[in-house]
Amino acid sequence: MISLDIGSIEPEAGAPPADRIVSGAPLFKTWNVDERPGGLYAGVWESTPGKWRVQYDEWEYCRIISGVSIVTQDGGAPRRVGPGDSFIIEPGFRGSWEVVETTRKEYVIRL
């Protein structure tokens, strides 16, 4: 069993590619707790406010720990997510992710 305790992990800094940013200047922190051969990742991700275009080629399970975001699939209704919300984003998802309040989520990604 692996704990998602990030207290001893140094986060990786990041941001969306400049050509995908719609508004703001979002900055990411990622604590990758586990990585397995074949493309399986688990950890914690955080972003400051902003909005950007997203394209998922992987499967991702998310659980929001804190903050508020709005995830919108192209052609779909915006979905507001906050603490305690969990969801799966499937490969092929195209749309936008808007962080309204700095958001932290736990994730499991499978390529």
pLDDT digits over 66-100, tens only? Answer: 999 999 999 999 999 999 999 999 999 999 999 99
**Taking the model in full, what pTM does it have?**
0.95
Asked whether residue 63 is assigned to any structural domain, the reply reads yes
The predicted-structure confidence for 50-62, as pLDDT tens digits, reads as follows 999 999 999 999 9
Q: Tell me, yes or no, whether 51 lies in a domain.
A: yes
Residue 5 forms part of a structural domain: no
In a domain, 56, yes or no: yes
Residue 7 lies in a domain: no
Phi and psi dihedrals of 48, rounded to 5?
Answer: -85, 165
Q: In Å, how far from its chain's centre is CA 22? A: 16
The Cα-based distances of 46 to 37, 40, 77, 98 in angstroms read 24, 19, 23, 12
